[in-house]
A and B are shown apart, each in its own frame.
Chain A
Amino acid sequence: MTTEEVTPVRARPAPIKAVPVRHPGRWVAVAVLAVLAAMFVHALFTNEAFQWSFMVDNMFRPPVIEGLLRGTLLMTVSAMLIAVSLGIVVAVMRLSENPILRGVGWLYAWVFRSIPRLVLLAVFGNIGILWSRIEFGVPFDTHIGRLFGIDNLELRVFGFSSHEVLTGFLAGLLGLALSEAAYMSEIVRAGIQSVDAGQSEAAAALGMSRGQVLRRVVLPQAMRVIIPPTGNETIAMLKDTSLLLYVPVSMELFFQLDRVGKYTFQIFPMYVAACLWYLFLTSILMVGQHFLERHFSKGYGQSERARMRLRNLVAETGGGGGGGAP
């Protein structure tokens, strides 16, 4: 805070001119890093195995681009949409007063956080071995039928062949989304718990139902805590789509690059291409995340609070500004 009335009597003293603290270690570090960087760049240009022109010729082929759009981008978006929705449901279950819902929510998070994503994808990709058809209807219908002396009683509403439907994209989507939902549920849970208990109390005192309290009061405030890690998870998800190779999902960026590498026997250049593609894609997401975080931290940061207090003081001169702070 600066006081505006400076006493005119005292003259301003001369500004301080001091020798700044020296940092010789920084210069040593710069020198070492410069040598390492030079070695790396030198290798990029002189090592024939990089095959730069071959890489550039092949990393933009139509199947690679299609794999990028469908298997990487579309998959990331779809998996995250399902994961966030399911994650909210699981988080609410885990915070529920109902012990059964709480138990189921805990079990879900436990199972899907314990199995590695790669293994989960391999399992979902081969689920057809277990059930060749997946059908919905009355459970244990044939067994019940036998009890009453009816052979082959089938009470099924609809079904599909898992070999036809649960392969490729859908199996991969299921594996990624279900696994991610477990992590999202933890993030959402932390977000909900970060909201002051007084908020739900005030809402309940107004006669709002538990669902209304959650939708209208708690979740909007939890978003500030939920959004930044969700951005992180989206970036991680984009990279994890490369695991779809093990489902397998053929219309996917890494699968396509890997395939080009395998049938041309130029494996390394295509792996470098994959590195560059993922670097490029995640960089775009990181920029988006930066702006998203800035938007959602509005009105909450230290500097913002100070600015608000100042605005209050200006707005109501003489009135108590920002007196609500504890």
Chain B
Amino acid sequence: MSAAAATRALPAEEILLASRAVADDLRQTDLSVPGIHCGGCIRRIEKGLGELPGVTHARVNLSTKRVSVVWRAGGGPPPLCETLSALGYEYHLQSFQEPAKDQTLSQLIRALAVAGFAAMNIMGLSVAIWSGAAGDTRDLFHGLSALIALPTLAYSGRVFFASAWSALKHRQTNMDVPISIGVLLAFGMSLYDTVHHATHAYFDASISLLFFLLIGRTLDHMMRERARNAVKGLGKLAAFGATVVTDDGTQIYTPVEDIAPGMTILLPAGGRVPVDAVVRDGRSDIDVSLATGESAPENVSAGRRLRAGTLNLTGPLTITAIAAAKDSFLAEMVRLMEAAEGGRSTYRRLADRAASLYAPVVHSAAFLSFVGWMIASGDVHQAVTVAVAVLIITCPCALGLAVPMVQVVAARRLFERGIMVKDGSAMERLTEIDTILFDKTGTLTMGRPVLQNPAAHDPASLSLAAAIAAHSNHPYSQALASAAPRAAIAFESVTEQAGLGLEAKTGDTVWRLGRGDWALRAGANAGDAGTVLSRDGQLVAAFTFDDAPRADAQAAMAALRDQSFALEMISGDRPGPVRRLAQTLGIAEAHATMLPAEKTAHIAALAAAGHKVLMVGDGLNDAPALVAAHVSMAPANAADIGRQAADFVFLHPSLQAVPSVITVARTAKMRIRQNFALAVLYNLIALPLAIAGLVTPLIAALAMSGSSILVVANALRPSGSPAHIRQPRAHAVDGDHLPAGVRAMG
């Protein structure tokens, strides 16, 4: 559904279920608020939420754009959602199913800090040796270096040793194997030399190698995990639970997983259908756009089947569950997703491909120089020293440090524009695409109808209709209410007939706004009028609605066409609206009434023809297609499952996210290529020196730091294109600060 659904006030029970206990009487709720972006926001939100009764503490995190609120459990959840809406911020509720802390990350950072400390101190001692310390002083400094290096290797080196060991156990080799061998050999050699009062020891090289590689490893991990968790935790559109009526008539709010077939559920207007169910009682309209892609609400009454995840709009319903959550529509989509041949499963990351080339080359270079020196000089010590120097000097800094560095910088740029990236390989895959498929409802459109052709209506009857429509939650009513100023008429009564329409009375006059067959007296109108306004059964006006395209969808499509991507639309909606939108946006190929399985089949057919496909979609029915595509994007208001399947999630309503992600990904790819080129160039110069036995510890340290600094600087270098300039932070021009309702209309 649209942003409007995301900002729909959540029932207190959902907030309670999504919160966690932090102390005896305190609970914490986390909300993701993508609109936060300056000090003013921090103060407004912390002040607004902090002053609510029951709230003990509200803290904004500007970096992750989240708010955590601690409140007293005694009085029930405070009105957090209403307050945020009133302040003009969109929000998504975070669930606490994920572990709060990332253990691996803190372990990596600790290892990094220890390695940094040791590298600094050993380097300090080494500078004294390089400056000419000799004899006992040199031996003392070497000994001290060994004392510092040993625990550091044991603590910080584990990261690499463990991974290298598990690779060797499976008779494979990865980048950590040459690293581990190089570091350990260098340490062992240096220890031997220290005992034998030699002039050179490589403790500094071995530890600073660890330090640089750990920086790369930590960045890589942050890149992969943080964004993924952010996407995972992003508010759930699916219900956390539902009100179940037991046999003795008591009502219990039950988590979705505990709902069994046969249970009777009370579904209020504005609530999501928790599991597949059948309507037992009541009439209403159901928004099925997330499940099928159909934009027009569906009219339901007793006996009608409902799919899990659809939204009840106008009237309360009593429904009977016919499937448990794990057997519902959602689970069917999961099966399809698993069946979809993931285009990405066969993709190998650039760094991995380089590493598989790199490890054998380095191993054989080191081994050959060892053999060569053995033959030439017959001196084992000399031969091992050269082999160690080769391993150290070819340290895979460009692979281990420069690739994640580029990707972290790119992810940061995207995050500033409200786009979250799940992993670095997604950006690499994105640079290969030539075809872009869009879902219609909720992706190209806002998933919310607007009045067609408002100028053609009589202003008086339109404003009258707007005044009546303001009393309803139905999407058509809301579209009417926002289409014209409301007439200043005091109705004696306005009642909503769920599934039919609204009835308003002034004196003896009865106004009806709703379905033609209900609002009009029999025979008064021959045709199918759709939604009408009637006065005592006589037609006053007929309205048609259509789904509004997202803001700047047209500009985004034009930008993508300019980059000569093939654009296609695949939708589950009827052919009429699909064709109309395709014409408006200038999309040549549009497919309507596509079932989820047909969408994946279409993508598979394109892939078989040699195309690389980017899929942009939001609905449950798009989730399998999002998995099947080479790379995929989803808006933040997509179904959870779609968001989890997508590689990129954009938080702002603008579709410009698509071209801007492509630009950033292309720049990132270019930087990675440049870094590889730098690394190769560096090795071409350094490797012959190492093989010739000319590399002293001083030269090794200089070469290693020099190449690392070079690739990092290249990654951080701001790019020239204007698309990368930070967004202006001024308030007046930024859509983030408009109240959600205002933006929704715009």
Co-assembled chains A and B: no
Instruction: Tell me the A residues contacting B by CB distance below 8 Å.
Output: none
Chain B residues proximal to chain A, CB less than 8 Å: none
